[in-house]
Each structure stands twice: as structure tokens, then as C-alpha cells.
Amino acid sequence: MTASPARHARAASELTARYRAVRAHSAKLAGPLSDADATVQSMPDASPAKWHLAHTTWFFETMVLKPNVSGYRVFDDRFNYLFNSYYETIGARHPRPKRGMITRPALDEIMAFRAHVDAAMEQLIASDPERSVAELIELGCHHEQQHQELLLTDILHLFSQSPIKPAYRDPEPLAIAEDPGEAGYVAFEGGIVEIGHDGEGFAFDCEGPRHKALVHPFRLADRLVTNREWIAFMEAGGYRDPLLWLAEGWGQILAERWEAPLYWENRDGAWWTMTLRGMQPVDLNAPVTQVSYFEADAYATWAGKRLPTESEWELASAGLPQTGTFADGGRLRPKPATLGEKGLRQMFGDVWEWTRSPFTPYPGFKAAEGAVGEYNGKFMCGQFVLRGGSCATPDEHIRATYRNFFPPHTRWQFSGLRLAEDA
């Protein structure tokens, strides 16, 4: 049975609207940036905003247009070298730590590149492409949303290096929020549970296949760890006690001289932190953020708890509304938990939550064929899973099955923690 012309037209219209919205949002995020802002690279892990804008466009040109549009005219042959990220099967690329050296093309030429690709993409979508092509376009949209979050976190790191600490968005006073109170714990019986994406709707390949997992009885904190609680850890000598730390984490402490979360500085006895709205006093009642897996694990050990596994987190989040403090709301900072709410709070948004689970393939996982097979599978070693999204994540980009992942030493993302314990 074939779909009706009306259904095809509706699907094309929906995909066009989705594509336009994602692409327009990236341009909006870049709006407050000068060419210089968008060019500089503050560290090897971060990328210039201009590179994010170009790379996401390169993805559509290389993965979608070139293989599927006869006679497509490539905007600039040099861009394949400049803006390939890690796709070995596509060819050589500019070294990641030197992306900030790409002073040319200028930002306006990158925006012209985007317009060129957008025009061709809209024609392709209007032509009612095959399902496999439409799915690849959907992947490209979600890929670009990942880079929208990275653009924000990378700009925050860049601006934090400036002696004048510029604000990406106009500063605004923090709303006064009540202390969320002592964390409670919600008990779960565990058992043989199903974990992973069920195949309905979009998901990245690493979110499946859905499979059975054994989960022992556990309790999960009903909110995220706050800055006030983190300061207590600091004042108790948490950053000076090697017994709390994994060996590699303690080595990081000594090498990097960590004493507090990234971006924190003490001003006359009060803690301040760099935010996308410039330097702000640390909100004691908000979730702690910009901490590494090593720091999260050390805090949990100090508190007599542990980090949850990703299976525990996914079981606990099942059926909960996927609402919270995401990027589209414009706050761009974690928000304190609402006092008096019952059950689990802050499961989605605010900060990505470190789990104790390594990023490894689920049973039965197979990478996709071709270049897109390099998307996630090749990184399933030496990284840990985070769940739930953050205040820099696009609202519609999150799912309960979403597996974010980073190496354990990284802390420039909006990453925090929720405690767990055995029942």
C-alpha cells in the first residue's frame, strides 16, 4: 500500500518546517557574536562558533546533497578539508586543536555557505525524497542541535578566558528561589527491565536496540546536588583528600590544581561563577554544574552515596514529563528545584547528570553502514554516559533514552549529578 499524495505533501511540509526551524535557530545563536568571537578557539576540546555553523552545513552538503542530488554544485571544494570533523572515510581534515586558525573564510562567507546549502536542501525535501534520505535529513537536524549546545558551551569557555568576562546574553539578576530543602530518596524495586529506544520516532543509533537489563533495588535522590552542598564538600577538604578520588581523578587534581568547579572564583569570601550572562554570584540553591565525572564520583563517595547507573536513571525517568530548564527558555543557567514538589525533580534539563556507566554498545548494537556509521560507535571507549539534558540543550532534542557521553575529566559542559544508593 502506498502513501497518498496528500500524505507525502504533509510529510515534506513537516520536514521543511523542521529543517528551517533548526537552521534558523543556529543563526540566531550566532547573532550576538562578532567575527572575532566566532573565530577564536579557547582550547582543543572546544570549537569556534564559525566552525560549528560550517560543520553542520558541511554535514548536509556531504551526507545528503552530494550523494542524492544530481548535478549539485559544491559551494567550495576546500570546505571538505576545513569542516570535516572525524569522518575518516570521507578524507583528510584540518586538525581539531587548530580550528581557531581558520580565520578565512570569514563569518559572512560561512553564512553564504549556509544559504547555498539551505536552498538546495529545500528543493530536495520538496521533491519527496526516499525514506532513507528523509531519515538522514532528520539525523542532520538532530546533529545540528547537538552543535547548538556545543556552540553555547564553547562560547562560555571562550568568554571565561577574557579578562573582562563578557556576557553572551545581557546580564539579569537571579530570581530569588527558596532552599529546596534536604534531598529525599525515591525507592525502586528494580528487576528485569527494558532499556533503550523502542524504535518509535527519532533516536541516535547508540540509544538502541531496546534490551533487557538487570537492575537491583535502589534509591534515587529526588533532586540534583546543589552549589550549597558542593561548597560543604569543598570546605570539608574534598579536593584535598586522595581517599575520595579515583586514581586518574586524583592525578587530574594535582596536574590541573582543581579546587572548585570550573569557572568558580572566590571574591572576598563569596563564590562567583562565569555564566553566559557574565560573572554572577553562585546561586547556592541551584544545581552545581561544570564538574567532571571524577569530581561527581568523589562527591558521591564523600556523601556516602554513589552515582546511578544509566539503567537506573532510565527506569526512574520512565513516564515522567520531559520538561525542565532547557535552552529555549532563555535562562541559560540551571534553576533551583521547586520546593514542595513530590517525587523526582529536575530529571530533565538544568544539568546533564553523570552516571557511573561507561559508554559502551548495547547488546545487539550495530553501527550504520557508510560514513554515518562513524557517528557514535567509534567513541564507545573511555567515556561515561550522562542523562537528562541541560539548560543549554534545545527543548525538543531530549528523550529519556538519550545517551550523552564525555571523557571523565571533561567539565566545560553543563554537567552535574544526582546521588543514588543501594536499597
The residues that bridge with 226 in the sheet, in sequence order, are: 287
Nearby residues of 336 by Cβ (< 8 Å), 6 or more positions away:
177, 178, 180, 226, 283, 285, 286, 287
Tell me the H-state helices in 31-130: 35-39, 49-59, 66-68, 79-83, 107-126
- Give domain status of residue 31, yes or no: yes
Segment 198-241, tens digit of pLDDT: 988 999 999 999 999 999 999 999 999 999 999 999 999 999 99
Which helix (DSSP H) or strand (DSSP E) does residue 405 occupy? strand 404-406
Question: What does the pLDDT average to over 111-133?
Answer: 96
Asked whether residue 246 falls in the same domain as residue 373, the answer is yes
**Which pLDDT belongs to residue 13?**
85
Query: To which H or E segment does residue 406 belong?
Result: strand 404-406
Total domains, the chain = 2
Q: Is residue 314 in some structural domain?
A: yes
Based on the fold, state whether residues 325 and 365 are members of the same structural domain: yes
Least confident of 145-149, 378-382, 405-409: 378-382
Whether a cis peptide bond, with omega within 30° of 0, leads into 287 is no
At 387, list the grid cell: 542523562
**Torsion from C-alpha of 21, 24, 28, 30, nearest 10 degrees:** 130
Among residues 160, 175, 198, which one ends one of the domains? 160
Q: Are residues 30 and 110 in the same domain?
A: yes
Residue 51 lies in a domain: yes
Q: 263: closest CA among 284, 251, 239, 281?
A: 281
271 and 383 together in one domain: yes
Output the pLDDT for position 4. Answer: 56
Domain that holds residue 113: 5-160
Of 22-31, 168-177, 331-340, the one with minimum mean pLDDT is 168-177
End of a domain among 160, 193, 224? 160
Instruction: For residues 118 and 237, state if they share a domain.
Output: no
Q: In this structure, are 55 and 103 located in the same domain?
A: yes
> Do 261 and 375 sit in the same domain of this protein?
yes
* 132 occurs within a structural domain: yes
Is 174 within the bounds of a domain? no
Are residues 379 and 245 part of one domain? Answer: yes
On whether both 196 and 237 belong to a single domain, the answer is yes
Residues 102 and 64 both lie in one domain: yes
Q: Rounded to two decimals, what is the model's pTM?
A: 0.95
Same domain for 281 and 336? yes
Q: What percent of the chain has pLDDT over 90?
A: 88
Q: pLDDT of 136-168, one tens digit each?
A: 999 999 999 999 999 999 999 999 999 999 999
The yes-or-no verdict on residue 1 having pLDDT over 50 is: no
Average pLDDT over residues 310-337: 95
CATH number reported for the structural domain that contains residue 281 in this entry? 3.90.1580.10
> Which of 94, 100, 109, 96 minimizes the C-alpha distance to 155?
100
Residue 71 lies in a domain: yes
Same structural domain, 126 and 207: no
**Does some domain include residue 175?**
no
In a domain, 168, yes or no: no
